[in-house]
Amino acid sequence: MKTKFLADWETLKKDFDTAAKVAQNPNAQTIAFLALMAKPTGFTPILKEIDAAFGKEHRKTVNEQLLKFYGKREPISTLLAKIIPHIDDDKFQTAVMNLMTGIKDLEKAVQLKMKELQDDKAGVKGASDWNLAVMFEVDLKKNIDVLTKDLKPAALAAIEKKKGVLKLPAAAVKHMDAYSKAAARLKADEAFDSLKQFVKEADKCADACEAAIKKEADDDYKKAVQRFVNDLRTLCSARVTDQMKKLDAHLNG
């Protein structure tokens, strides 16, 4: 399976760099922003690995690299969003917005290609409406990765050593992995059961996280854990619920 995600990124960056060179009336904030954007983003080696992994049809490697891509994408997207209101040049402001949108679209395109690879390996002809395991797996592990990074500062790590919330998602991850494998094999009944167990364990995890921070005094720790809980509950209440309805319809239709 041939992909050109690295080339797509290089085109995005080239368009941005071209606009940056002719930006009018750069203020101090814009100049500082351009200095940061002149440094390597880290996307190039990741996307090179992703293209190579698709070429070898190694879905696991693509998934691992996509998580790394997200780790780089989030802070850059935040930076782009913050600088936009401070840019006086309309054309350059548009270029920044196009870069921000393009990076997010690139991440989504990799996810969709992962689903296509999964369907090809499973022998699926055409769209498989319920077989969307790739999206869930990436989002769940991405949320855990964000929480892990949020709790790295020494003060928060000391609290985490006592609370141990990072251990709580383990059971949910286990069932999500089982769901992904079942979906890849088009085992709808196994996929449904695994997803049902995932929701159960995710709810337990969210409840335990909230109990852990109920009397916690450190606002940063509470904020980080609550963010994870909110993301986990949103994943379960929206997209996972919709997926279970599709699976139920597939099994009983």
Per-residue pLDDT of the chain (253 residues; tens, 9 = 90+): 899 999 999 999 999 999 999 988 889 999 999 999 999 999 999 999 999 999 999 988 988 898 889 888 888 999 999 999 999 889 999 999 999 999 999 998 998 888 788 767 666 554 455 565 556 888 898 899 999 999 999 999 999 999 999 999 999 999 999 988 887 777 889 989 999 999 999 999 999 999 999 989 999 999 999 999 999 999 998 888 888 888 888 888 6
How many structural domains compose the chain? 2
Which domain covers residue 76, as residue numbers? 5-122
Q: Is residue 88 part of a domain?
A: yes
| pTM to 2 decimal places | 0.68
Tokens at residue 209, please?
């996280």
Asked if residue 172 lies in contact with residue 152, where contact means CB atoms within 8 angstroms, the answer is: no
Residues 45 and 16 in one domain: yes
Which of 73, 99, 122 delimits the end of a domain? 122
Residues 82 and 185 in one domain: no
Residues 84 and 151 in one domain: no
